[in-house]
Amino acid sequence: MKNYELAKIFDEMGDILDFLGENPFRVRTYKRASQIIYGLSDDIEILFKSGKLAEIKGIGESILSKVEEFLKTGKIHNYEELKAKVPQGILELLNIPGIGPKGLKALYDNLHITNFDELIKACEDKLVQKLPGFGPKKEENILKGLLRTKEAVFRFPIGLVYEDVLNLLERVREIKGVKRAEVAGSFRRMKETIGDADIEVSGEDGAGIIKNFTQLDGIKEIISEGDTKGSVILHNGLQVDIRVVESGSFGACLQYFTGSKEHNVKLRGIAKEKGFKINEYGIFKGDKFIAGENEEDIYKTLGLIWIPPELREDKGEIELAQAGELEDILKELIDYDDIKGDVHCHSSYSDGGETIIAMAISAKRLGYEYIVITDHSQSLKIAKGLEIERLYKQWEEIDKINKSGELGNFKIFKGTEVDIKSDGALDYPDDVLKNIDFVIASIHSGFRESEQVITKRIIRAMENPYVTAIGHPTGRILNTRDPYNVNLIEIFKKAKETNTFLEINAYFDRLDLNDVNVRIAKEYGVKFVIGTDSHNTSQLKNIRFGIGQARRAMLIKGDVVNTHPLAEFEREIKNKRGAIC
């Protein structure tokens, strides 16, 4: 998929135009297109050819023609021209928190800054603080941001590369001589981010398999190819390593390279106690090979049941297996086909790219029984939040679709993602909220407030009887924004007390709450919903990443409200109102 490459190009075009002081409308067009393309789960090439890309709001003629040019030629002429207008090295500075294109322009004009090292030196020499609009505090923040970014190792959010890796795996399985193939590593464990992908293969003629592998579509560069191992880079920049082993070692190899390191260290300890030795070729007693073809046999030899990859973190899963308690948990563990409806979806009424009916039809195709449309509330102007009048219009449209029967038993719920304002008040009055089926309350402003203030804001929102759930409870965005300061324990206690659900936001840049927090919240008796925060139909599939988090946190089906079928879900979301009103 060329989605990520294109998203990066449009983002950069927006930055360059902004740096050059061009029309903000044009800047916004590119930034918006970049965001939309970044978030697509489907291959942009397929969406383009089928005409579906053109249907997404925010993708206009000028963007479409550039997408077409890139798909045909691998280049965008206009982008090359723009790049030539700015010094090389300056664009990467745009990703440093606290600078922005206007600030960067000032640094360039006054101090001739064109790259990372020059800016670090200028900060250290205290030159930056002397510029108008900067000051010592800002200089300090810029320097912090610079040093942090320089040290950070980029890891791909899993959703950004997921489809590509799955497609590649399918094609590996079709290579002549391949018997079994699986992706190992953090990809298989459904971690939030992945550094690279490892494909383990069993089969004959390793050299032939690897030769064929390096010729597959979607590969941009071959790093190495040997008799049993190979390495390539995909179009999206991800490195993929492949390893071919004999059939008898496939399970051991998969287990070994799936990790996590901590999980495997503990397993090796248990093996040692029992007089065994495990490595990537199998489990051995002395020199005698005991098993290795299937993962199950490795675990079984150690007296354990097979542990799903998402759980392999050494967070108690091995002890539970030893005590014989894991089996019952696994029977109830939330699975990828357990979700019955999406509870966090935007439509073109606010900043979504598609209509309500389009979102609903796609949700129904996923096998869902319902969807909740949760557009933004009135104050969030940047996302075209709905004034009350337009909210009423949306309700009319939802009622009409539901009554028409065109979706069968599938139901569209009236929802909102209402802003939690700076004092914790909500962005719609109670007499509006009470007529909304599902109210998600979220923080979209004032991220830098103190822990006390933010915690209070969310608690006040939960005290409102009409708030069903808290959206993305920590506000973090992977690789971009840290969580805001919030006392989660207070939030968990209040969520339990008020019967407010907490969201596991499955949008792959958020994954918020993450598994660690979900696990703690569960101990406080909290119930959850998993929502995708979809802004177009392509994103509905992201639900799998939220489920991955939930599985790692060992949530069972009953912990997640939208695993319930329609009637039960409807009852559950009324519970809080019944109790408080």
Using the minimum distance from each CB to Zn ion, give the nearer residue, 515 or 533.
Answer: 533
d(CA 390, CA 6): 34
Query: Using the rule CB under 5 A, is 198 a contact of Zn ion?
Result: no
d(CA 236, CA 220): 9
- Residues in 379-408 that interact with Zn ion by CB under 5 A: none
d(CA 320, CA 326): 5
CB of 507 to Zn ion, least distance (A): 8
Query: Using the rule CB under 5 A, is 503 a contact of Zn ion?
Result: no
Binding residue for Zn ion (CB under 5 A) from 41, 236, 258, 442? 442
Q: Which stretch binds Zn ion (CB under 5 A): 166-174, 295-303, 318-326, 417-425?
A: 417-425
CB of 261 to Zn ion, least distance (A): 34
CB of 505 to Zn ion, least distance (A): 8
Tell me the site size for Zn ion, rule CB under 5 A.
3
Nearest to 528 by CA among 339, 257, 350, 384: 339
Using the minimum distance from each CB to Zn ion, give the nearer residue, 539 or 563.
Answer: 539
Using the minimum distance from each CB to Zn ion, give the nearer residue, 40 or 183.
Answer: 40
CB of 547 to Zn ion, least distance (A): 18
CB of 44 to Zn ion, least distance (A): 22
Using the minimum distance from each CB to Zn ion, give the nearer residue, 465 or 473.
Answer: 473
Q: Which stretch binds Zn ion (CB under 5 A): 17-25, 294-302, 386-394, 415-423?
A: 415-423
Place of tokens 């950070």: 152
| Residue 254 main-chain phi, psi, to 5 deg | -60, -45
Using the minimum distance from each CB to Zn ion, give the nearer residue, 378 or 442.
Answer: 442
The mark string for 557-576 relative to Zn ion (x by CB under 5 A, - otherwise) is: --------------------
Using the minimum distance from each CB to Zn ion, give the nearer residue, 3 or 474.
Answer: 474
- Residues in 540-559 that interact with Zn ion by CB under 5 A: none
CB of 344 to Zn ion, least distance (A): 6
User: DSSP 3-state helix, strand, coil percentages of the chain (rounded to 5)?
Assistant: 50, 15, 35
Binding residue for Zn ion (CB under 5 A) from 11, 295, 310, 533? 533
CB of 509 to Zn ion, least distance (A): 12
CB of 374 to Zn ion, least distance (A): 6
Using the minimum distance from each CB to Zn ion, give the nearer residue, 417 or 509.
Answer: 417
d(CA 409, CA 493): 36
Using the minimum distance from each CB to Zn ion, give the nearer residue, 442 or 455.
Answer: 442
Contact 373, 412 (CB under 8 A): yes
Q: Which stretch binds Zn ion (CB under 5 A): 5-13, 256-264, 423-431, 526-534?
A: 526-534
Query: Using the rule CB under 5 A, is 377 a contact of Zn ion?
Result: no
CB of 288 to Zn ion, least distance (A): 57
Encoded tokens for 153:
């190792």
CB of 384 to Zn ion, least distance (A): 12
Question: H helices of 51-157, where?
Answer: 52-55, 61-73, 77-84, 100-111, 116-124, 135-151
Residues facing 178 on adjacent strands:
203
| Secondary structure (H, E, C), 9-66 | HHHHHHHHHHHCCCCHHHHHHHHHHHHHHHCCCCCHHHHHHHCHHHHCCCCCHHHHHH
CB of 444 to Zn ion, least distance (A): 6
The number of angstroms, rounded, from the C-alpha of 130 to the middle of its chain's C-alpha atoms is 40
CB of 510 to Zn ion, least distance (A): 8
Number of other CB atoms surrounding residue 292 within 10 Å: 28
Q: Which stretch binds Zn ion (CB under 5 A): 265-273, 311-319, 413-421, 547-555?
A: 413-421
Query: Using the rule CB under 5 A, is 417 a contact of Zn ion?
Result: yes
Residues facing 219 on adjacent strands:
234
CB of 63 to Zn ion, least distance (A): 23
CB of 533 to Zn ion, least distance (A): 4
Place of tokens 């948990």: 329
Nearest to 243 by CA among 208, 199, 177: 199
Using the minimum distance from each CB to Zn ion, give the nearer residue, 283 or 529.
Answer: 529
Bond preceding residue 442 cis, omega within 30 of 0: no
Amino acid identity for residue 126 in this structure:
K
Using the minimum distance from each CB to Zn ion, give the nearer residue, 188 or 421.
Answer: 421
Using the minimum distance from each CB to Zn ion, give the nearer residue, 186 or 442.
Answer: 442
Q: Which stretch binds Zn ion (CB under 5 A): 112-120, 135-143, 168-176, 529-537?
A: 529-537
DSSP letters, 531-549, are E--BSSGGGGGGHHHHHHH
Encoded tokens for 69:
């040019």
d(CA 88, CA 116): 11
Nearest to 452 by CA among 414, 492, 481, 424: 424
Using the minimum distance from each CB to Zn ion, give the nearer residue, 67 or 470.
Answer: 470
Using the minimum distance from each CB to Zn ion, give the nearer residue, 198 or 533.
Answer: 533
Nearest to 574 by CA among 397, 436, 375: 436
Query: Using the rule CB under 5 A, is 342 a contact of Zn ion?
Result: no
Q: Which stretch binds Zn ion (CB under 5 A): 8-16, 152-160, 408-416, 528-536?
A: 528-536
Query: Using the rule CB under 5 A, is 182 a contact of Zn ion?
Result: no
Query: Using the rule CB under 5 A, is 351 a contact of Zn ion?
Result: no
CB of 158 to Zn ion, least distance (A): 20
Using the minimum distance from each CB to Zn ion, give the nearer residue, 374 or 499.
Answer: 374
| Secondary structure (H, E, C), 340-408 | CEEEEECCCCCCCCCCHHHHHHHHHHCCCCEEEECCEECCCHHHCCECHHHHHHHHHHHHHHHHHCCCC
Using the minimum distance from each CB to Zn ion, give the nearer residue, 18 or 417.
Answer: 417
Number of other CB atoms surrounding residue 355 within 10 Å: 17
Nearest to 360 by CA among 400, 325, 323: 400
Q: Which stretch binds Zn ion (CB under 5 A): 231-239, 270-278, 328-336, 412-420?
A: 412-420
Place of tokens 């759930």: 469
Residues within the interface to Zn ion (CB under 5 A): 417, 442, 533
